[in-house]
Chain A
Amino acid sequence: MLLDFDRLGWWRWALGGFTAAVAAFLLLPIVFIAALSFGSSQWLIFPPPSWTTRWYSELFADQRWLDAALNSLKIGLVVTVLSVVIGLAASFALVRGRFRGRETLKALFLTPMILPVVVLAVALYAFFLRLGINGTMTGFVIAHLLVALPFSILALTTALEGFDKSIEDAAILCGASPFEAKMRVTLPGISAGLFSAAIFSFLTSWDEVVLAIFMASPTLQTLPVRIWSTLRQDLTPVVASVSTLLVLVTIVLMLLVALIRKGLSKP
């Protein structure tokens, strides 16, 4: 190979140092937030003068935070289910279908991924005002579904492309109806893709803030919206503790994806 790592000489150390710097740049803010959430200082002083779990107690005592978290969870779960079901149907059509414009349609399905979210948010805001679903659960779900679907479709088309259709055909000749064959053979066969689609859909909704700000009403807020609006009023370490918990949920879910992928690819 042209760039053989073992023969780079002192460049190896330079590359190693650079990698460490990039990793630090990406990870240190998260470490700081976690540290600050346990710091005793009201003003988020670093390093913290002493340690406390006070902000976590305050967080869990505040009904508004709990409501926001519950809203995020509800919206996230509904979006997950819809995103996987719709994504699965779309993926079957995109992978198995033989029709003109298939590639174009696939690109179209993925556009919300590259479209600036603000543009989407403004458009949806105007549209939902007419429909009168601004600030409702339905509005939130539809908005988040739009940005979650591309991830779901990407994960599921990849999984379906990697699943030999002959296996489904074999199930059909064994006597299973085409629907039964899909339920009993194809879906279990692409379970790793289904899990990825579900978790990425959930995380997309769970972390989403731009659309949520446009959709939110005083009575219906998600966790990221509440963090954002709290930050605008006062800089309390409670925000650091929420953020830390959010990061934790994300890490756990990502680990789950990695574990499931590993477990399913090597049974």
Chain B
Amino acid sequence: MTVPFLKIDGIRKEYGPVVAVEDVNLTIERGELVTFLGPSGSGKSTTLYILAGFEKPTLGDIRLNGQTLLSTPSHQRNIGMVFQRYTLFPHLSVGDNIAFPLKVRRKSKADVTERVREMLKLVRLEGYEDRKPAMMSGGQQQRVALARALAYDPPILLMDEPLSALDKKLRDELQHEIRRIHHETDVTILYVTHDQEEALRLSDRIAVFSKGRIDQVGTGPELYADPATRFVAEFVGDSDFLSCRVTHSQGGRANVVLGGDFAVEGVPLHDERGTPGEGALLLRPERIDLSRSEPTGWRGLPVRVDDVTFLGSNVHVIAQTGWGETVSVRLPFGHEHISGLSRGDEAWLRFDPNEAHVFV
């Protein structure tokens, strides 16, 4: 068996009575870009800070190429990091900021100059060498921070919500840059974000954090198509949840009943140890079809339309079931049943039970 590149092994971190991180396990391959995705307070930063060595785990180990990292102090770990806040050294120019880790490592003057130039080119800031950080925009400062963190060729780069202070347009641009730089440098990146779109756009794999634990690890499509928990389903992609009763379950599939009499058979089942028999049926709004007339050949779920919103390439329909639950449906613009659809209309919904999920 080969030794994994980076292994986060059973990490737990307590702050007094607060358990910030609980039993986090993750194996990361060399060159991967893995995001930690989760809401604020779910333990993402704490995990990253343990990797950086600023916090000691209460339990567990971090191993790089099979060797524990925990006995190495932060400044000898040779890890790069870009922080959420701007952390350029305010008294040093852009060039001197990037040169700092190289000078600390006693590199020759010629090497430092050469490397600083290379790094400025990598982050597309040639010509900014003599600027002071205070004279740069937020986006530029984070680019310099990225250049500084990569200047010494660290095997691992940690990024803690580096774009969260930037506006949307700049964020999109820098996400693109980060992907490009990841391809060009082959550095292994651990990236923290609470923004699912950012995670989906950047990552090879996503680890979804919830309440100090990792709920699921996988590629974006995997998390979307096969969420392990209700939380992951809610956090990745849009979702509809309908309460349901489980009438029969076998081999990871379940038959359920919605609203007393609408039966759905053979839905993938996820056991989260909730109340037996009571479940939630997950549907993806863009995977639901809608018909204006009572369908023949299949049994549709009858609903009343509450609202129709035009959103460009698609149309968002909010509908209500007979027993008062709300379902949102996303139909492509030009769908045969959209024209003239309005509030109060009757409609029937159809979905594939194989694509739905039941969480109990």
Taking Cβ atoms with an 8 Å cutoff, the residues of A that contact B are: 164, 166-167, 169-178, 180-181, 184-185, 188-189, 191, 266-267
21 contacts between A and B (CB under 8 A): A166-B83, A169-B54, A169-B87, A170-B87, A170-B145, A172-B75, A173-B74, A173-B77, A173-B80, A173-B81, A174-B149, A175-B105, A175-B152, A176-B100, A176-B104, A177-B73, A185-B89, A188-B89, A189-B90, A266-B134, A267-B132
- Give CA–CA (A185, B76) in the complex, Å: 18
B89 near A176 with CB under 8 A, answer no
Number of B residues contacting the other chain (C-beta, 8 Å)? Answer: 29
Measured between beta carbons, the chain B residues less than 8 angstroms from A176 are: 75, 100, 104
Closest chain-B Cβ to A17's Cβ sits at a distance in Å of 42
| Choice from B84, B100, B152 contacting A171 with Cβ under 8 Å | B100
- Give CA–CA (A191, B91) in the complex, Å: 10
Query: Closest chain A residue to B133 by CB distance?
Result: A267
Q: Does B318 contact A (CB under 8 A)?
A: no
Measured between beta carbons, the chain A residues less than 8 angstroms from B149 are: 173-174
- Give CA–CA (A188, B96) in the complex, Å: 14
Q: Does B79 contact A (CB under 8 A)?
A: yes
| Choice from B87, B105, B132 contacting A164 with Cβ under 8 Å | B87
Q: A164-B85, A169-B87 are in contact. List 11 more A-B contacts (CB 8 A).
A: A166-B83, A170-B87, A170-B89, A173-B52, A174-B100, A174-B149, A174-B152, A188-B89, A188-B91, A189-B90, A267-B90
Measured between beta carbons, the chain B residues less than 8 angstroms from A177 are: 73, 75
A167 near B75 with CB under 8 A, answer no
Query: Closest chain B residue to A176 by CB distance?
Result: B104
Number of A-B contacts (CB under 8 A): 69
A175 near B104 with CB under 8 A, answer yes
| Choice from A174, A189, A191 contacting B104 with Cβ under 8 Å | A174
A172 near B74 with CB under 8 A, answer yes
B89 near A171 with CB under 8 A, answer yes
Q: Does B113 contact A (CB under 8 A)?
A: no
Closest chain-B Cβ to A189's Cβ sits at a distance in Å of 6
Contact with A along B206-231 (1 / 0, CB 8 A): 00000000000000000000000000
B79 near A173 with CB under 8 A, answer yes
Measured between beta carbons, the chain B residues less than 8 angstroms from A181 are: 75
Query: Closest chain B residue to A186 by CB distance?
Result: B89
Measured between beta carbons, the chain B residues less than 8 angstroms from A184 are: 100
- Give CA–CA (A172, B87) in the complex, Å: 12
- Give CA–CA (A60, B54) in the complex, Å: 59
Q: Does B101 contact A (CB under 8 A)?
A: yes
Enumerate the 9 nearest inter-chain pairs by beta-carbon distance, A residue then B residue, closest first: A174-B101, A170-B87, A188-B91, A175-B104, A167-B87, A166-B83, A166-B87, A173-B81, A172-B75
Measured between beta carbons, the chain A residues less than 8 angstroms from B100 are: 171, 174, 176, 184
- Give CA–CA (A166, B78) in the complex, Å: 17
- Give CA–CA (A166, B158) in the complex, Å: 14
